[in-house]
Structure 1
Amino acid sequence: MAAGKQQLPVALLFILGGVWSFPLVQDTKPAAKLCGYESCHITKPNMLNVHLVPHTHDDVGWLKTVDQYYYGDRNDIQHAGVQYILDSVVDQLLKNPDRRFIYVETAFFYRWWKQQSSSMQQTVKRLVNEGRLEFVNGGWCMSDEATTHYSAVIDQMTLGLRFLNDTFGACGRPRVAWHIDPFGHAREHASMFAQMGYDGFFFGRLDYQDRDHRMIEKEQELLWRASDSLTPPMADLFTGILPNGYNPPEGFCWDQLCHDPPIRDDPDLEDYNVDDVVNRFLVIANSQAMVYKTNHIIMTMGSDFQYENANLWYKNLDKLIHYVNAQQANGSKVNVLYSTPSCYLQELHRANLTWSLKRDDFFPYADDAHDFWTGYFTSRPALFPLVGLDTDFHTFRAMAVAQHHDAVSGTEKQHVANDYARRLANGWQHCQLLISNSFAALSGSFLKRNYCDNLNISVCLPTEILNKFLVIVYNPLARPVTWPVRLPVNGTAYAVSDVKGKPVDCQVSVVPVSKATQEVRRNRGFAINELVFQVQAPPLGYTTYSVSLIQDGPPPASTQRRTPTGIQNKFLRVTFDPDTGLLSSLSNLETKQSIKLTQNFYWYNASDGNNTESNQPSGAYIFRPNSSTPFIISKTAKTETIQTSVVQEVRQWFAPWVSQVVRLYADSKALELEWTVGPLPIDDNLGKEVITRLDTSIKTDRFFYTDSNGREVLQRKKDFRPTWNLKQSEPIAGNYYPINSRAFIKVCLSKTHSPSEIHLPPLQLHRRLLYDDVRGVGEPLNETSDIFPEGLIVRGRLLLSLEHPAAAADLHRPMAEQEVLQPLLAFVDGDLSPNIRHEFSGLQAALPPAVHLLTLTQWDKDSVLLRLEHQFQSRESKLNSQPVTVNLQKLFSTLVVLGVSELNLSANQWKDKMTRFDWTPQKGTGPLQTGCRILLE
């Protein structure tokens, strides 16, 4: 593979044996296929064509669980039953060949499909082949765009699209991406959709100021240039903003959940209303046409969980089309037709216009002056660590559901969040069995392997009770890693040997379990110490370490209660203020760079909605602090210092509910800040939004940088939007952006503004709120559990480095990659045995630093799906942004590659067969921000 500028991978299908072909296109029956663009109804060039799109939006969990939504259970919470929607729609489509319907969430359709008879399945295939039932988007769910990692998004899209492809062939392939409900839109999602072969993308939510500007300029349809690195039009995606979110025009909702009057067309009755309906519709259509560029407009005729009784909708839509079009005989220039997003898109493409160009993203999203949907970036932080599992099919589906925009986002009811967690936990149990079987096959040993899910709070029964055990370290990355292992133990001295029996004593230490950790784990473990040592794991493989108890006794680590002046290794020096116990500076000993740096914890009082500016409270979606100035939790920190040859720690206590460990490993170029926050006290009847803030002497002129879904980095500027003149009404919430893996600032100097000292953007860590934000959930974000009835405790880690900008990316990208795909540990009772294979690598050699192995999964019995990506942006790194060549024949240690076929990113089209619409951007649109000139040379 030759990789130039940064790009997401195409998928490669490896043929491992025999003669084999993959059924990308599968005939369902001999009947002719008129799906896709060929199935669109004819429009009228000299009229305003109104494309009516019957649709339903079926959340894969929100107010009810996935199961409850599918079966129509718990209608006391919300009336919704997806199985009845699909039953009813299919029945109604068969009654009129002009009718159309689109469906989105494959997770629900997959369930429904499995329950249908063979004859019904053939009927549905006919509807799909004729374009009457069309799939849009096609992922397992409609994913969130702020809090998801790009690798999980690709996986859940692949899961859904593969089912559609295997079931319906080419006619099941969606042409349009459809994210009508997520709360802001990421550039990386648009880039992925483009590389998956979509011709266009439609969504419903954008900032109210942005929409107002675009309506005036007729720029609600645009060309999104979604990557700074990919050569246009590879990541260009036509993007349309829907006129009513995803709801029908006011007065034209005919679902059983709606209250608008039906079309009463019997002239003998007193309540005949056809003339009124037609006139109102014509006014709405012509008004909508005023803010779009072509003689085609789209109307979404449906909403959340609608069409359970599809007859209500279709009977009225049939009449609407008939009576509005009948007015053409009287000179009307409005033509109404059943349509789909792809048919509408085709007409926009045929218009052959130029379109404004956008290069940034659609964050943050606000629907009013004081209503910024930035709270969900942090809602339910305890759920986040569970949603990145790479697993078997059972867990794959649980992972895919968790990417839903009301799952990982934290914007669901509490009982639904519990259901997501249960599904992920059950999936992880399946995955452990799969991993154990893989270890057994590779090693030749069928000894029981144990997994410890609570190592982050020093709970692991095998290491706590065994005097001798093996630690199996699996590395999912395609490069070797060095990783610090921390195991809860009850001894004070241990011998640790690598796979060759070589002692690693110089890299082993024992430290006492912190008071904060003991409080978090409660009665779930009893270790008094932590065994700390560095492991080295081969690329895409595992190695084994032997651990043996030497002695019991008091902790041998040097513990100091006084505040340290500093800690350092060969790369970094960190100093602390002796009066406050807080960080005071950070120095890079290699580059001789040093900055003032202080860090502390604060909380914003969450708005209860009772103030003069707005009645909007803070909730699961909305972040709205009562003041721009947060409360400091404590101006000082009590400290305790641990110093060993492997690790140095300064343990800080700010309050009974906030503590932190400042940690520096011997060979690390990053300072680790492990924070523990909670339970958030609410005895004062105040909801709390907890942040940490790093104040620094770096001059930035308001610029900072955040990643997009863990991949490319975007430049941000405080109180600024690249595409419209922002009127900032919420100075805190209006400057919040999602961060999935990294954020940074640069020393820089602007030609037009004097640089000022600012702090890094505050990082929100935890939320506990007392009011609902009136966005549908109907309950406050106030989480408790059986273990923590007084409120949840959240623990996380920040890695902090100080680098020259030219070298920063070479450190940060691999570091972020390793954090997302941490080594997996398994434990076995006993010692190293000469009859067991204790080390294995799936690669003949490690991949270059610029290349990441994103996917390697069994596709069928003869083939695997491989995704390789060049993970550095263009011009990001002087060394690693350069082209890289990988020899696939010499890549794997156990696989024999007989052939390779290249697919698109979602693996549902052959790459050389994939064609997309071409679009022409307006000249001079979408300027990039100029940013800063780097001072450190």
Structure 2
Amino acid sequence: MATPEYTPFVFLLLLFQSSVWGFPVCQTPQESPTCGYKSCHATKPGMLNVHLVPHTHDDVGWLKTVDQYFYGDRNDIQHAGVQYILDSVVDQLLKNPDRRFIYVETAFFYRWWKQQTDDMQNTVKQLVNEGRLEFVNGGWCMSDEATTHYSAVIDQMTMGLRFLNDTFGHCGRPRVAWHIDPFGHAREHASMFAQMGYDGFFFGRLDYQDRNRRMVAREQEMLWRASESLTPPMADLFTGILPNGYNPPEGFCWDQSCDDPPIRDDPDLEDYNVDDVVTRFLHIAHGQALVYKTNHIIMTMGSDFQYENANLWYKNLDKLIRYVNQMQSNGSEVNVLYSTPSCYLQELHRANLTWPLKGDDFFPYADSAHDFWTGYFTSRPALKRYERISNSYLQTCKQLEVLGGPISRKGPFGAGDSETLKKAMAVAQHHDAVSGTEKQHVANDYARKLANGWAHCQVLVSNTLSSLSGSSAPRVYCEHLNISVCPLTETMNVYNPLARPVSWPVRLPVNGTAYRISDVVPVSQATAAVRRGRGYAVNELLFQVQAPPLGYSTYSVSLLQNGPPSPQSSPLPRAPKASFSPQPSSLLSLCASIVTLRDFLSSLFCVCLSRYNASDGNNSESIQMSGAYIFRPNTSTPFIISKTAKIETLQNSVVQEVRQWFSPWVSQVVRLYTDSRALELEWTVGPVPIGDDLGKEVISRLDSSINSSGVFYTDSNGREVLQRRKDYRPTWNLRQSEPIAGNYYPINSRAYIKDDKDQLTVVTDRSQGGGSIQDGSLEIMLHRRLLYDDVRGVGEPLNETSDIYPEGLVVRGRHLLSLSPPATAADTHRPLAQEVVLQPSSMDFEKEFSGLQAVLPPAVHLLTVSQWDQDTVLLRLEHQYQASESKEHSQPVTVNLQKLFSTLDVLGVSEMNLSANQWKDEMTRLDWKAESGTHHTGVTNQLSAYSAL
């Protein structure tokens, strides 16, 4: 299929051949005459219109688990019960048709909805149809924007929006994106929201210096040009900054959790306060109007888990509106009304103004001079990795559900499903989940939910593989290969979820010394130590697998007997015996020797594992401590963990490997696989010692001779790349007060530095924080162990332990390094990043299989293959290169859908928007006019448009 317009994604519902078939049945219902923009209360021209927005912010896990929040359990931790909020709000909305309420987190609403009677469901539908209850954002959760990958964000948004669409039709479709709590905002999120059909986006948190400048310039509302690659207005999104975060104005909080006095309007009582309330409100409204452009302002009337007793809020808001508006008879020009974000947005659109352009993002976020929220980019690195590999496994699960057909869900291994892992992954995208900013018991609950989802998917996968292979033998899944633990059988198969062939190194734990497949190497001391009794293999079987697109390949791993292998077998050629020699060496000379392993490495670089000591708040500049959210080292110079390392080297036909021990708690393996495009750094950190009463933040620093001139590049949620510059912000003159933390940015999948000759790219296996503090250098934070809470609400230090690691968590991960000319670097790091995000899964079964008839072009990534209805499949294809990123691959390409799949016959295609809740040809958005000369961008190289599919 080819389209003339540049687009990054194509989203399709495919009708395919099965026993029963028909056309897709998700037609958009006709709009009710009263919902959406048509349900807004009238405003008054010539007056200052104050839009009061009743709302609650319900974290999908934070201080309590998702279940505890919903039911109102463990109120000794935090008083919060979402089910009671929804009960109370619906009751109060019915008492006054003027009242409005917005709801955001579909994960909670879905639970509540399932428990309601038919009568209550019909009542709620009526409230939605009349615009009195409005959904905003509408994803399963309000996702984090720094540590989430775009594929997982799209999935969780699709899940929430589909439920609203199926339940309420057009009136349930949100028109406004609402991210009032995430700790900084990513450009790619804005781009996705635009492509999902949203008309606007509101948030509450941005850097304090940025906010101050915008208030003075009256630029708190803008047009965010969220892609340098898409033709405007495809990724343009109107964006507004809320005046009080997401809280009410000071003195106007009337929840049971608030201390502000209610409106006392009986003049016969001594504590009558209406005049005082009205005067204070008018003063706040006029002050707010001075820093916004129109005669409309918005006030968020609610906060965390408020409206459990909605009568308190609505009774006082009714009075506030009545008494303030009564002042119009005395000459007041302030008009107050119940409203929603979409109604406020509509009035801004009607103003027909031009708006300043924004081209970069809102990272990093600081709420004062020494308080940079850049620590959570790395916090809870084990959970971040588990979330990332769970995303990979979910894509595998969804693909095999489609390729296997109905038997995948109910087959020889029982009933399996992908929904359990979908919901667990959706919850994990929450801004206090994968971000690592929750309490420890909540982090454990997120991991437990993911593990439960894996179990359900494994049944589904086993059923599919049984059907495809014709064998119902039990399946074995290797979930702990990172610590060399896997219960092996005689065959090993690797499933590749990518739509192109993959060559992937596999290391399997074995006790033998000679196998049908390639080389055997001894398990490292670090691996033996990190297993903690969970496996006892003394060797690892090492070989490269070749897996077909959306398919699997089988390899025999049986132990060789005395004598040559049988004629029926086809063993890979044996390599010479590996050399393995311990030797002390300085780190610098080691790094120099590693570089010589790669012919195309032209710049020397060094890998230094170091640490910052975390601030305990005891200094003259600030009392701020490092914590789950905030990164604040107590010095600008990191401490090298060891200037010397114990070294072991290994070389065979598959890999050249250097194992380094810097200390009992820090080690690293540097690997170069034969014919590899990248150098692999496998790091193991922990238990981080705290006997000196100092928290520590461990980094990997890559030093090179590249002349980077203070510039480096990071990805945005795994998609487009933004330029970063040390001690610089594109939209204001930065006063830098934290030279390390203030130069850290989220790295979701890759970062790089470059000059005219070389580009050094690091591909990460999870979201991490990092920066380029020195020219020619990249540093990435690996692990954090802290002894103090940073006073941002979580109420406990980030000091992770577990039953297996009671003395402190051990974390292992990988970085892939490539060094190549800048003109061709993307041809390497783009595919590498996709392979790490969607890594092959190791299982045991037989036969070779590919779900595709033909390999997709290198520029095309198959993002989604998911069962939609009985006879329809949701397919997302994306052009994964920015327009000028690759001379070879940043070109339009064509895909023949009818010849794409090997097990599906495509009978029809319908194109949808990104979130699959609207037909593409029916999606309309509000148009906005941009001011000329206000487009600040963090990208200097030309990025014009994605190539179309």
**Which residue, 807, 811, 836 being the options, matches 1:790?**
807
Structure 1 residue 874: deviation in Å?
1.1
TM-score, length basis structure 1 = 0.93
| Match of residue 850 from structure 1 | 859
The answer to whether residue 438 in structure 2 is matched with residue 407 in structure 1 is: no
Structure 1, residues 3-38: CA drift from partner, whole Å, max 9, x if none?
A: 67874323200112433232343479xxx5411000
User: Is the Cα contact below 8 Å between 1:700 and 1:756 reproduced in 2?
Assistant: no
Structure 1 residue 578: deviation in Å?
7.9
Percent of counterpart pairs with the same letter? 75
| Match of residue 911 from structure 2 | 902
User: Is the Cα contact below 8 Å between 2:586 and 2:643 reproduced in 1?
Assistant: no
- 2:137 & 2:181 partners in 1: Cα distance? 13
User: Is the Cα contact below 8 Å between 1:3 and 1:884 reproduced in 2?
Assistant: no
Tell me: CA distance 1:889–1:880, structure 2 relative to 1, closer, same or farther (3 Å). same
The answer to whether residue 827 in structure 2 is matched with residue 810 in structure 1 is: yes
Greater shift in the superposed pair: 295-304 or 582-591: 582-591
Instruction: Read off the aligned partner of 1:516 and give its amino acid letter.
Output: A
Structure 1 residue 327: deviation in Å?
0.2
DSSP-derived class of the 1:864 partner: strand
| Match of residue 301 from structure 1 | 301
**Which residue, 441, 449, 456 being the options, matches 1:430?**
456
User: Is the Cα contact below 8 Å between 1:5 and 1:870 reproduced in 2?
Assistant: no
| Match of residue 262 from structure 1 | 262
**Which residue, 710, 721, 727 being the options, matches 1:702?**
710
User: Is the Cα contact below 8 Å between 2:723 and 2:939 reproduced in 1?
Assistant: no
- 1:7 & 1:896 partners in 2: Cα distance? 26
Tell me: CA distance 1:373–1:579, structure 2 relative to 1, closer, same or farther (3 Å). closer
Tell me: CA distance 1:461–1:10, structure 2 relative to 1, closer, same or farther (3 Å). same
- Residues 31-430 of structure 1 aligned to structure 2 (within 5 Å): 33-388=33-388, 389=391, 390=394, 391=397, 392-430=418-456
User: Is the Cα contact below 8 Å between 1:6 and 1:872 reproduced in 2?
Assistant: no
RMSD: 1.9
User: Is the Cα contact below 8 Å between 1:481 and 1:539 reproduced in 2?
Assistant: yes
User: Is the Cα contact below 8 Å between 1:693 and 1:759 reproduced in 2?
Assistant: no
Structure 1 residue 531: deviation in Å?
0.2
The answer to whether residue 48 in structure 2 is matched with residue 22 in structure 1 is: no
**Which residue, 573, 579, 582 being the options, matches 1:561?**
582
Structure 1, residues 304-343: CA drift from partner, whole Å, max 9, x if none?
A: 0000000000000000000000000000000000000000
- 1:409 & 1:549 partners in 2: Cα distance? 44
DSSP-derived class of the 1:376 partner: coil
User: Is the Cα contact below 8 Å between 2:708 and 2:776 reproduced in 1?
Assistant: no
| Match of residue 690 from structure 1 | 698
The answer to whether residue 681 in structure 2 is matched with residue 673 in structure 1 is: yes
User: Is the Cα contact below 8 Å between 1:587 and 1:802 reproduced in 2?
Assistant: no
- 1:582 & 1:561 partners in 2: Cα distance? 16
- 1:50 & 1:792 partners in 2: Cα distance? 50
Structure 1 residue 759: deviation in Å?
3.7
- 1:383 & 1:559 partners in 2: Cα distance? 34
**Which residue, 535, 540, 544 being the options, matches 2:554?**
544
- 2:236 & 2:196 partners in 1: Cα distance? 12
**Which residue, 492, 504, 509 being the options, matches 1:483?**
504
| Match of residue 493 from structure 2 | 472
Tell me: CA distance 1:151–1:47, structure 2 relative to 1, closer, same or farther (3 Å). same
- 1:70 & 1:927 partners in 2: Cα distance? 42
| Match of residue 517 from structure 1 | 527
User: Is the Cα contact below 8 Å between 1:5 and 1:881 reproduced in 2?
Assistant: no
Instruction: Read off the aligned partner of 1:761 and give its amino acid letter.
Output: L
| Match of residue 526 from structure 1 | 536
- 2:938 & 2:139 partners in 1: Cα distance? 33
The answer to whether residue 744 in structure 2 is matched with residue 736 in structure 1 is: yes
DSSP-derived class of the 1:758 partner: coil
- Residues 818-833 of structure 1 aligned to structure 2 (within 5 Å): 818-828=835-845
Tell me: CA distance 1:579–1:843, structure 2 relative to 1, closer, same or farther (3 Å). closer
Greater shift in the superposed pair: 389-398 or 116-125: 389-398
User: Is the Cα contact below 8 Å between 2:22 and 2:871 reproduced in 1?
Assistant: no
- 2:535 & 2:528 partners in 1: Cα distance? 8
The alignment covers a number of residue pairs equal to: 888
- 1:687 & 1:759 partners in 2: Cα distance? 28
User: Is the Cα contact below 8 Å between 2:225 and 2:358 reproduced in 1?
Assistant: yes
DSSP-derived class of the 1:581 partner: helix
Structure 1, residues 760-795: CA drift from partner, whole Å, max 9, x if none?
A: 231000000000000000000000000000000011
The answer to whether residue 782 in structure 2 is matched with residue 765 in structure 1 is: yes
- 1:214 & 1:740 partners in 2: Cα distance? 28
| Match of residue 611 from structure 1 | 619
DSSP-derived class of the 1:623 partner: coil
| Match of residue 873 from structure 1 | 882
Instruction: Read off the aligned partner of 1:452 and give its amino acid letter.
Output: C
User: Is the Cα contact below 8 Å between 1:158 and 1:907 reproduced in 2?
Assistant: yes
Instruction: Read off the aligned partner of 2:429 and give its amino acid letter.
Output: Q
Structure 1 residue 599: deviation in Å?
1.4
Structure 1 residue 584: deviation in Å?
6.2
**Which residue, 444, 447, 468 being the options, matches 2:470?**
444
DSSP-derived class of the 2:43 partner: coil
Instruction: Read off the aligned partner of 1:737 and give its amino acid letter.
Output: Y
DSSP-derived class of the 2:116 partner: coil
- 1:7 & 1:420 partners in 2: Cα distance? 35
- 1:154 & 1:930 partners in 2: Cα distance? 24
- 1:930 & 1:483 partners in 2: Cα distance? 33
Structure 1 residue 97: deviation in Å?
0.2
Instruction: Read off the aligned partner of 1:422 and give its amino acid letter.
Output: R
| Match of residue 779 from structure 1 | 796
User: Is the Cα contact below 8 Å between 1:492 and 1:552 reproduced in 2?
Assistant: no
Structure 1, residues 134-168: CA drift from partner, whole Å, max 9, x if none?
A: 00000000000000000000000000000000000
Structure 1 residue 897: deviation in Å?
1.0
- 1:343 & 1:849 partners in 2: Cα distance? 44
TM-score, length basis structure 2 = 0.92
User: Is the Cα contact below 8 Å between 1:562 and 1:639 reproduced in 2?
Assistant: yes
Structure 1 residue 929: deviation in Å?
4.9
- 1:310 & 1:474 partners in 2: Cα distance? 52
| Match of residue 503 from structure 1 | none
Structure 1 residue 548: deviation in Å?
1.1
DSSP-derived class of the 1:726 partner: coil
Structure 1 residue 586: deviation in Å?
3.3
Structure 1 residue 2: deviation in Å?
2.7
Instruction: Read off the aligned partner of 2:76 and give its amino acid letter.
Output: D
Tell me: CA distance 1:298–1:930, structure 2 relative to 1, closer, same or farther (3 Å). closer
Tell me: CA distance 1:101–1:436, structure 2 relative to 1, closer, same or farther (3 Å). same
DSSP-derived class of the 1:264 partner: coil
DSSP-derived class of the 2:77 partner: coil
- 1:699 & 1:199 partners in 2: Cα distance? 42
User: Is the Cα contact below 8 Å between 1:481 and 1:536 reproduced in 2?
Assistant: yes
User: Is the Cα contact below 8 Å between 1:581 and 1:637 reproduced in 2?
Assistant: no
- 2:789 & 2:82 partners in 1: Cα distance? 27
- 2:72 & 2:882 partners in 1: Cα distance? 46
- 1:150 & 1:179 partners in 2: Cα distance? 16
User: Is the Cα contact below 8 Å between 2:37 and 2:342 reproduced in 1?
Assistant: yes
- 1:552 & 1:648 partners in 2: Cα distance? 28
